[in-house]
Amino acid sequence: MDKKRRQTAIIEIITENEVETQNELSRLLSERGINATQATLSRDINELHITKCESEDGVNRYFSGISTVPVAFSGIFAQSVLSVDYAMNTVVLKCHAGLADAACKVVDERKLESVIGTIAGDDTVFILTKTENHAKALCVRLKQMMKK
């Protein structure tokens, strides 16, 4: 089985469905003709930066941290952002002067379903998420992007 095809299917599945467990993910992959062991799924989940967060319905489900943004945008993000933090369901990015808009654009391009909206100033970006758990998970993802 092609790893890229399997991982693409995983992202599609968790984007289209509220997947709560690896068993459920395995079943949905099987329905697409893709078989994977629990160990393989665990590695894929880790590599794809998939996290579990509470959905709007209160379901603890998988959310994707994979970027659909071109690599060049990730570099812009890493060069623009100085720090990432959150308070309740709002994530705050502190950026170099004049670069908040560029960092905000990268977040917007990701089209994350947990993000309700963004606002960029000169050196600060506010990102409103659906829940505090979404904000925590987004902070982890954005800090990973800062290292690229």
* 51-80 average pLDDT score: 67
The pLDDT assigned to 49 comes to 73
Among 86-90, 93-97, 99-103, 107-111, name the one with the lowest average pLDDT. Answer: 107-111
One domain, residues 79 and 47: no
**Number of folded domains in the chain?**
2
Residue 31's domain is classified under what CATH number? 1.10.10.10
> What is the span of the domain harbouring residue 14?
3-63
Local confidence band at 54 (pLDDT 50, 70, 90 cut-offs)? low
Query: Are 82 and 50 contained in the same domain?
Result: no
pTM: 0.57
The answer to whether residue 128 scores a pLDDT higher than 80 is yes
Task: Identify each DSSP E strand in the chain by its residue range.
Answer: 51-54, 60-63, 81-87, 90-95, 115-120, 124-129
pLDDT in tens, 12-21: 888 778 888 9
Phi, psi (degrees; rounded to nearest 5) at 107:
-65, -45
Q: Is the pLDDT of residue 71 over 50?
A: no
